[in-house]
Structure 1
Amino acid sequence: MMDRYTNPWRANYEAIAVAVWLLLAAFSFASAPHWRLHTPAFHAFSLGAIVMALTWLPGALRMRTARRALNGRPLAFVTAEELAKTMHRVKGQLWLGKGFEWERDQAQLAHDLLRVGPSRLAEVSLTAIGAHWLHGLAPREKDLAVPLSTMEGHLLVVGTTGAGKTRLFDLLVTQAVLRGEAVLIIDPKGDRELRDNARRACALAGRPQSFSAFHPAYPEHSCRIDPMATFGRHTELASRIAALLPSETGADPFKAFGQMAMSHIIAGLLLVAERPNLLKLRHYLEGGVDALVERALVTYCRQVNPRFDAAATIGKARDSIARVQALIRHYRQRVAPQQPSSVIDGLVNMHEHERVHFSKMVASLMPVLVMLTSGELGPLLSPDPDSDRDSRSLMRMTDLINDRSVAYIGLDSLSDGMVGSAIGSLLIAELICFDLSMFGSNYCLTTSSSLSFFENVVLGPVMANTLAQGTQ
C-alpha cells in the first residue's frame, strides 16, 4: 500500500520539468562563449540544471511507466510442466494465475482513471475483450492462490465467449489431476480441445489409463456409461427418468403413471436378479410386461417355496398370456394370503391393465426413452457388462470416484439439445447418490456458453476442464 497517493493520470509535470531543465542546461552551455561574462559560471549553471533534470526524471519515468501499463500485458502462456512446478510453490493452495489484490489504492486509481477516460491514455483495440487497462493499476503482479478448502463448495464462473472461462478451467483441472483427485467434466458443447487437454493432463500425472471419454456423436471412440448403475432405492431410477418429462403443474397424471409403471418394471427386474437399464425399460413398456411378470412370479414363488414346480402350475398352457394367468392364480390362491409381495402385485396390475389405456398413459414417456436408446446410444447408455462383443470400456460413477479417475462427457447439446440435456440430467442425478465429502476436495466442473440447462455453471464438489501444452 502506498504511503502517499499520487494521481498518475494527471499531466506529466515531471516530464515537463525535465525538458525545461535540460533546455536551460543546453542553452546555458552553448551560449556561454557569446556572453561577456565569466564562462565557468554558465557551465556551473548547466551542471546544476542537469542535476535538477535528473531529480525530476524518476517521477517522469514512473508516470510514463504507469501509463504504458494501461495498454495491457502480452498473453502469458504456461505449460503443464511449468504449472506442476508452480504448484510446489503454492503447496496446499489452488493457483489461479498472476495478478494483484484489489485494495484501496487500486480503487482510487481506477476511479481517477475513469474520470479522465482510459481511451485518452491507453491504446484502444476494437477487437480486444475486457478492460485491459486494469493491469496498469498495480506496479507488479504476483502469484494468486486460494486455499483448497475454499473450493469445497460451489463455484460460479461467468463470462462472455472468449473471456477466459475455459482457460481458468484448464488451470483447475490440471491441478486437480496432478493432486490425484477424481475429475468429471460435463461439457454440453462437446469441445475436442477440452477432451484432449484432459487426456494430456492425465498423461502428465503418470496415469493415462485413468482417463475416459464419452461423446454420443463419436460412439466408436466413446466409452460406455450406465446412468442407472447406482441407486439407493429402485424408485430413484424411475424418478430420474420421470424428471426428464416436461410438466406445467408438477402433478401431471401421465407423468405420474409413467413413473409408477417404470418403478414396477425396475422392481421386477431386480427381483429376477437382472440389471435394469434404459433399453429394458423401453422394451417392456412398448412390448408389454408378460414375459417379466412370468419370470417374476416363478422367481418369487420359488423364494417362498423352494419346491415350487412351475411346469406343473402352468400345465398345458402354451402361449405367454395363459402361462401368466395360471401363475397369477397360483400366487393369489396359494402365496398371497400368507406372503404377499408389493412387487408382484404391481406387476400383476400392469399385466391386467387395459392395453390401449396403458399405451396412452405412457405415451409421454416413450419419446424420452426412444431418444436415449435409439441407434448407437442404446449400447452406449445401456451397456451389458457381461458381454464380450463390445470392447469399449465401461465407466461407472462409483469407479470414477473410488478410483479417482478422470472422465470427459461431451453431450453434443448444440446439435441435439434434448438428448444432451437428458443425458446430463441423468448423470447429475446419479452423482447425487454419492456422499462426495468423504473423498476430499474432488470437483465436478461443468462448462457451457449457450445451454440453458447448464448456463456457465461449475458444480462442486467432483472437477474438470483442462490444461495441456499451453494455456493462457
Structure 2
Amino acid sequence: MSAHFPENVYRSPYEWISVAAYSTTAVSVAHLPVPPTIAYGSLAIFSLVSVKRALSALRIMRFRKNIRKLPYYALTADEIPSSDKALFLGKGFRWTQTHTQRLFMVRQPENDGLRNPSKLYKAARKHEIETMGTDWISRITRKSAWWNPVAPLPPVGGSPELHGIEIEEDDIWEDLGERVGHKVVLGTTRVGKTRLCETMIVQDIRRGDVTIAFDPKGDADLMTRMYVESQKSNRPFYMFHLGFPEYSCRYNPIGDYGRITEVATRIANQLPSEGQSAAFRDFVWRFVNVLTKTMEGLSIKPSYENIYKSAANVDELAGDYFKKILDKHHPGWEKDFDNFDMPESEAKSAVKTGRNLDTMKLGSFLKAKKHNEPLIDALGGILSNDRSYFEKLVSSLYPLLEKLTTGEVAKLISPDTEDLSDPRIIMDWRKVMESNAVVYIGLDSLSDAEVAAAVGNAMFADLTSLAGQIYKFGHGVGQSGKTQKRKVSIHADEFNELIGDEFIPLLNKAGGAGYQVTVYTQTWKDVEAKIGSPAKAGQIGGNLNTMIMLRVKTVETAEMLTNQLPEVKIMTSTLVSRAGDVAFPDSHEDFSSGNEDRIGAETVPMLTPADLTQLPKGQAFALIEGGQLYKIRLPLPKKDKQEEIPAHIGEMAADMREVYRLSRPSAEENAFTEEVVMPSNTSAWYMNSLPLKFLFLPFKAAYTLFLIVLLIFGSSVLTQNYFGTGNLLEDEIKWPESVGHDAFPGKEVDDTINLQIARLSYKGLKTVFFDLTLVNESLKAKSEADFGYKFKNYLVPRMKYLQQFDTTLKVISFVWEIGH
C-alpha cells in the first residue's frame, strides 16, 4: 500500500499469483540437490511468505465479498445482551474518514461488478418469476445452502456497500449516562424502528427501569414481548389499549394533577390553535378551568365524562356549588332564601339568557350576603352570558368530549371508582412508579387519531406533572419510608401523532427526575406539522441529544444528521495523458507525449443525505456520545421458544394481528431468517461477490484442471478398487514411471521431480478417497449388505463409462509426463 494513497481494498486479489509462485518455489527447493538445512530452511521461509500473501489475498476477498453479503446476524429475545452500564444498539463500527474514502472507491464504475448481482443470479430470479416458482429448478435456486451460488439475497433494498465497507464489526453500546439527554429515532415505514424499539425496551425491563411504551399502531409482538419480559423480571405489567377495552386496564388521563389548571390545559391543548382558533381555545380553557375548580369544590374527581356532564349542565353545577358555600358559611340560609326576592332586572336577564332561575337566584342571594369569591364571580360571569351564545364560543369543546365519552372507551378513560362490578384495575402513574411496573399503552390511532392524540397528550402531561413532583420531593413523596430512586424509560413510537405542547417540558426538565425519553417518527416534517411551529419543533429537536437514523425519504430529515458532521479529505487519483508537437523547430523530436497519475486531496462531506435515503432495511447511522458517528445494523428477529402467556393476552395479541394486519412478520414468518438465505449465510460466494474471472487466468486454469483430474481419478480408482482389481492402485502409481522409461530411454527418470510429484499426488488422492473416508476397507469386504448391494447394482451397468474415465486418466497422465 502506498504511503500517500489509501489502499484499494476492492481490487482483484493479485496476491494469489505470489502465493502460487512462492508455493511452487518452496516445493521445488525442497527437492533440489542441496543440503537438507538449506532445503528445509528455504522451504520454511517461502512457506511463511506464501501464507502471508495468502492472508492478504483473503483479506481483499473478504472486503469484496462484504460489499454484497454481510454475515448473518439474528438474535432471539433471550440473546439480546443487556448491561447495567450501557445500552446495546446492534453490531457495527465507528464511521471515520477511512470509510468515506472506501465508499468513494467502491462506487467507482470499475467496481460495479462487486455491487451488482451477477448475470447468473439475475437469470435465476427471472426464471422464478416466469415460472411462479413452481418448477424444480426454482425450488433449487431458492434453496439456502452452501452449494447454491444463486441463493436469493434478503429483500432489504438500499445500498449494501454502506455497511459492507468494513469487515470488522463490534457490538455497539451507548453509555447509560447519555440516556437522560433523550433520543430520537428517525426512519420511514417498515425499515426497523419497531425492532430497534423492542431491542431497547427488552434491555430497559431487564435493567430494572420503569418502562413505558406508547404504541399508536398496535404491535402485538411488542405487547407480548413486554409482558413476557416483565414476568421474567417479576414485575407488574399494565396494559392499556383503546382498541381493546375489554382486556385493558382503566386510566383517567385528567384525574391526577399537581395544579388544578393542568386539567383545563390537557383538554384545551387538543383543540386547534391556528389563527382565530387560538381565541376560541382560550375561551374553552377558561370555561373548563372554572368547571374543574367547581368540581373540586364539590369533591367530584375530574374525568372526561364529568367534564362533559358539567359543561352541558353548568347551571346545575353552579347551583350545587352555591348551596355548598351557603351551607358552609351561612348555616340556616334556607329561611332567608325563601323570603329573598331576586331583583327584577336579574330575573328578566335570566329568562332572556335561558338560564335556570333557581341557580340565578342563588347567585344573587350570595351577592346580597356580601360573599365574594373569585370562583363565584367566574360562575356568575358564565351564567350572565346568553346560553346559546356562550355555547358557540366553546362549541369546539363538545365534539372532542363527545368522542372521548362515547362507547366502551368512555368507561376506560372515565373510570367509575365506585363500580365494584368492574374487575379491571385502575392505573395511575404514581402507582406505576412505586411498583416499578412495565406499561404498554396501545392508542389505536388507526381507528380514531383524535382520541388517541387526546389521551396520549394527556398521559404525557400527567407524566410531566409527576416528574415535577419527583424532581422536588423524590419518588417517596407522600410515603413514610424511603423509596429507591428509579429510572423511567419512556418509548413513544410514532410520537408525531401524540406530540403537543405538553411534550416540550417533558423533554426540557424531566431528565432531572430520572426520565429518559426515546421517540420514534418517520420525518421531522411530521413533527413540525403536528406541533404547528418550526420554532417549537426545533425546541423539541434541541432536547434530543442522541440521534439514530434509519432509511428516510426526505432530504430535510437526512440533513438533521449530516449537517452535524464535519467535512473530511479523501484522496483521488486522476489519469492524465498528453501529446503535442514540439515548439522548437531545431529540435530533433517531432512530438512529445506523457502519462501521469495525479494524486490529490478533495474535501467532501463525511456523509451525504443521499446515503441516508439508500440505507438497507435494518441498518442505521447513530450519532451518540457527543456527536460520534456509528454505522449499525440491528439484529434480525430469530425464532424464539414459545413462551407461556395468559389466555387473555394471547387472545388479544391474535385479535391485534387480525385487526391491524401489520406487515411486520413474526419470527417464524420473517423474511430475514435462516429459511431464506441471508448475506453470507451460504458459502457459495464465488458467483456473486468474487467471480473466478477476477482471479489470475493461469491460476484459474490450474484450479479447473485440478478439479477435473480429481473427479476422474476418484471415479476411476473407486470403481476399479470396488470390483477387486487387486493392486490396481499401486499399479496406477507406478504407471507414470514406466511411461517415463519408455519416453526417455536410458535416462534416470526414477528420481525426477515430475515423477515424485506424480507419486505424491496419487498417494494424496488415495489417502483422501480411501484411507481417511474408510471407503477402501468397506469396498474390500465384498459383503452383500444393503449398502454394497445398492452400490454395486448402480455401478455395474455403467462400467463402460467408468472404463472410459480410467482411460482418460491415463492419457492425461501420459501427456502431462511427456510435456515435462
Normalized against structure 1, the TM-score is what? 0.82
Q: Say whether 1:447 aligns with 2:472.
A: no
Aligned with residue 202 of structure 1, among 225, 230, 243: 230
Identity among equivalent positions (%) equals 28
Residue 386 (structure 1) shift: 2.7
Q: 1:300 to 1:113 in 2, by over 3 A?
A: same
Look up the match of 2:177. Answer: 149
2: CA distance, partners of 1:73 / 1:406: 34
Contact 1:314–1:323 at 8 Å: present in 2 too? Answer: no
SS where residue 221 of structure 2 aligns?
helix
1: CA distance, partners of 2:294 / 2:54: 87
Letter in 2 for 1:363: S
2: CA distance, partners of 1:372 / 1:251: 21
Aligned with residue 64 of structure 1, among 45, 61, 73: 61
Cα RMSD (Å): 3.6
1: CA distance, partners of 2:237 / 2:309: 33
Residue 123 (structure 1) shift: 6.1
The unaligned stretches of length 5 or more in structure 1 are 30-37
Aligned residues: 443
5 Å-filtered alignment, 1:322-361, equals 322-336=357-371, 340-361=372-393
Contact 1:24–1:49 at 8 Å: present in 2 too? Answer: yes
SS where residue 220 of structure 1 aligns?
coil
Look up the match of 2:437. Answer: 405
Q: Say whether 1:17 aligns with 2:18.
A: yes
Residue 231 (structure 1) shift: 1.9
Look up the match of 1:99. Answer: 92
Residue 73 (structure 1) shift: 1.8
Q: Say whether 1:292 aligns with 2:327.
A: no
Q: 1:51 to 1:257 in 2, by over 3 A?
A: closer
2: CA distance, partners of 1:176 / 1:463: 12
Task: Write the deviation string for residues 3-58 of structure 1: whole angstroms up to 9, x where unpaired.
Answer: 996332112110233345667889x89xxxxxxxx9859xx899798776445322
2: CA distance, partners of 1:19 / 1:380: 77
Look up the match of 1:223. Answer: 249
Residue 427 (structure 1) shift: 1.6
Look up the match of 1:108. Answer: 101
Task: Write the deviation string for residues 180-220 of structure 1: whole angstroms up to 9, x where unpaired.
Answer: 2212211111212111111111012112xx21111111110
Look up the match of 2:206. Answer: 178
2: CA distance, partners of 1:408 / 1:469: 23
The unaligned stretches of length 5 or more in structure 2 are 118-152, 342-354, 475-484, 520-636, 641-666, 673-820
Look up the match of 2:447. Answer: 415
Q: Say whether 1:303 aligns with 2:349.
A: no
Aligned with residue 313 of structure 1, among 337, 349, 361: 337
Contact 1:188–1:454 at 8 Å: present in 2 too? Answer: no
2: CA distance, partners of 1:244 / 1:347: 24
1: CA distance, partners of 2:339 / 2:208: 61
Higher relative contact order (CA closer than 8 Å, sequence separation 6+) = 1
Task: Write the deviation string for residues 45-93 of structure 1: whole angstroms up to 9, x where unpaired.
Answer: 997987764453222122222322331121321333x34xx43xx4322
2: CA distance, partners of 1:56 / 1:468: 38
1: CA distance, partners of 2:432 / 2:162: 41
1: CA distance, partners of 2:257 / 2:23: 82
Look up the match of 1:263. Answer: 289
1: CA distance, partners of 2:639 / 2:380: 60
Q: 1:192 to 1:423 in 2, by over 3 A?
A: same
Q: 1:397 to 1:60 in 2, by over 3 A?
A: same
Letter in 2 for 1:331: L
Letter in 2 for 1:292: L
Contact 2:74–2:638 at 8 Å: present in 1 too? Answer: no
Task: Write the deviation string for residues 365-404 of structure 1: whole angstroms up to 9, x where unpaired.
Answer: 1111111111111111111223213211111122223332
Look up the match of 2:423. Answer: 391
2: CA distance, partners of 1:260 / 1:61: 74
Q: Say whether 1:425 aligns with 2:457.
A: yes
2: CA distance, partners of 1:349 / 1:59: 87
SS where residue 465 of structure 2 aligns?
coil
Q: 1:118 to 1:78 in 2, by over 3 A?
A: farther
Look up the match of 1:35. Answer: none
SS where residue 152 of structure 1 aligns?
helix
SS where residue 276 of structure 1 aligns?
coil
SS where residue 443 of structure 1 aligns?
strand
2: CA distance, partners of 1:359 / 1:390: 35
Query: Once structures 1 and 2 are overlaid, which stretch shifts more, 381-390 or 131-140?
Result: 131-140
Contact 1:152–1:441 at 8 Å: present in 2 too? Answer: no
1: CA distance, partners of 2:432 / 2:154: 45
Q: Say whether 1:373 aligns with 2:419.
A: no
Q: Say whether 1:164 aligns with 2:192.
A: yes
2: CA distance, partners of 1:203 / 1:51: 57
Query: Once structures 1 and 2 are overlaid, which stretch shifts more, 195-204 or 384-393?
Result: 384-393
Normalized per residue, the structure richer in strand is: 2
2: CA distance, partners of 1:312 / 1:221: 54
Q: 1:51 to 1:273 in 2, by over 3 A?
A: closer
Contact 1:197–1:468 at 8 Å: present in 2 too? Answer: no
Q: 1:54 to 1:348 in 2, by over 3 A?
A: closer
Q: Which of the pair has more CA radius of gyration?
A: 2
Contact 1:219–1:380 at 8 Å: present in 2 too? Answer: yes
Normalized against structure 2, the TM-score is what? 0.49
2: CA distance, partners of 1:12 / 1:311: 107
Residue 464 (structure 1) shift: 7.6
Look up the match of 2:216. Answer: 188
